[in-house]
Amino acid sequence: MNYQVKSRIWIEVDDKILLGEGRVRLLKAIEEFGSLSKASKQLNISYKKAWRLIDAVNKTAKKPVTTSSIGGVGGGGASLTPYGKNLVDAFESLNKNCWKFLDQQLNQTNF
């Protein structure tokens, strides 16, 4: 038998969610596609939901996580701030280390 521990982590600030796997996925898609609209389509979520998630992240974080530009001839766009990129990297590292720890703990048990 192959046992596995399943878990999801998220980071909260004052009982408000700052980051979790879904929000990080959205932030990475914004960085990749350069727009909240394109990111939401890629992740199959509504623009309204994506906007609410990013707004919540920006309001909860100590610094802006994303920047946006208003549309026009070339269209608008969005990207991550350096702080936003650092948050994504930190979350991914934390998540990876959490999985390693859980795997180690499971390997030390007698199931």
Question: Which pLDDT score, from 0 to 100, does residue 73 have?
Answer: 61
Query: In the chain, where are the structural domains located?
Result: 12-107
pLDDT by 10s per residue, the chain, length 111: 788 888 899 999 999 999 999 999 999 999 999 999 999 999 999 999 999 999 999 999 999 999 988 766 666 789 999 999 999 999 999 999 999 999 899 988 877
Q: DSSP string covering 96-107, please?
A: HHHHHHHHHHHH
Question: Which pLDDT score, from 0 to 100, does residue 68 have?
Answer: 87
Question: Which pLDDT score, from 0 to 100, does residue 100 have?
Answer: 92
Token representation of residue 64: 């802006």
Cα-based torsion angle of the residue sequence 40, 71, 17, 95 in order, rounded to the nearest 10 degrees: 60
Could you tell me the pTM of the whole model?
0.88
| Number of alpha helices (DSSP H) and beta strands (DSSP E) in the chain | 4, 4
10: β partners: 20
Question: Which pLDDT score, from 0 to 100, does residue 43 have?
Answer: 97
CA dist., res. 45 & res. 37, Å (int): 10
What's the CATH class of domain 12-107? mainly alpha
3-class SS at 46?
Answer: coil
